[in-house]
Amino acid sequence: MSESSILLKSDIKFFIKNFLKKTLGIQIKKVRKEDARIKSKVSVSAIKKLIRDKGFAVSDGQASWFYTAYERGDLDPLTNFAMTFLETNIDKKSPILITGCGTGIMAFHLADAGYTNIAGFDYLHECVEVAQQVSIMGNYNITFYQDDGFNPKDTGQKYDAITALHWVFSAWMGNYGNKKLAAEKVASADFREELLTDFLQKYSTLLNTNGVLILELTDAVSDYRIPTDHYLGELSKDIYPIRHSPEQVEKCAAVAGLSVISKNLSVLYGHHPRAQYILRKL
């Protein structure tokens, strides 16, 4: 390519990116194609119709998170990492629990990858109902039920893998109908550790020895993120206020009989840097 075509290509890209950002508020991010992981056997348009019919396709004047969830494709490196980890480390017959499963996107992905013993629960009954309907449409054999992930019921089943992806930090903010935490407490290190220890202890009891919990948290680096680095400015300080450092996670995990075997940070997807921990039951 000649020098002038290289520069023209670069200028056109800049113009389009700027145009989309300024007129439509769309920010284009580059993602490596080979990380694409999440697929769906049931058509996305059929799932979207179910979500529209259940009345939760729109929230705060825009398409809801659930409506666009299946458009995630390869955008989230942590989801991709978690799926790859499970597929390479966990036996296909192992019992797996997907907490905060939404409309079931990860459960279906794992079933398509050959897992035969999957259960998923969500706090919102409409999510569970959509997941159950998609399950019938795709001829899946997955148990979906309604439950509160902060107080999961003991069904007597122990798991080799449990995921808590993409919801705990948001639920701690009071989203999805969860209890909002007292504003004066959320910055306290002790309070954050109490919440995390309680959470880890609850799931530790549901794991088989050597089983893994994959948990996503907002990282404590967000505490000193400069507001001008975020499109919501000062408001960004209040988004996902319960944040943990890797040291805190290690400490709370030890109390709960778990050990951190892997940690990954992502800044590409979501409001704040998120860390995904893989914790093994000792």
Ligand X SMILES: C[S@@+](CC[C@H](N)C(=O)[O-])C[C@H]1O[C@@H](n2cnc3c(N)ncnc32)[C@H](O)[C@@H]1O
What token pair was written down for 76?
């989230």
**Residue among 120, 255, 281, 157 nearest 198 (CA):** 255
Q: For the beta carbon of residue 282, count every other beta carbon within 10 angstroms.
A: 13
Residues 6+ apart with CB under 8 A from 11: none
219 binds ligand X (CB under 6 A): no
Q: For the beta carbon of residue 19, count every other beta carbon within 10 angstroms.
A: 11
Q: What's the gap between Cα 207 and its chain centre?
A: 20
Whether the Cβ atoms of residue 107 and residue 128 lie closer than 8 Å to each other: no
- Pick the closer one to ligand X by CB: 175 or 259: 175
Beta strands 118-122 and 96-99: pairing type? parallel
Letters for 48-67 (x = contact with ligand X by CB under 6 A, - = none) are: -----------------x--
- Pick the closer one to ligand X by CB: 71 or 234: 71
- Pick the closer one to ligand X by CB: 123 or 144: 123
- Binds ligand X by CB under 6 A, chosen from 102, 138, 211, 241: 102
95 binds ligand X (CB under 6 A): no
Interface segment toward ligand X; rule CB under 6 A; list 82-90, 121-129, 258-266, 269-277? 121-129
122 binds ligand X (CB under 6 A): yes
Residue with tokens 């000193």: 224
Residues 137-196 that bind ligand X (CB under 6 A): 148-150, 165-167, 171, 176, 178
Q: What residues make contact with ligand X under the rule CB under 6 A?
A: 65, 69, 99-102, 105-106, 122-124, 127, 148-150, 165-167, 171, 176, 178
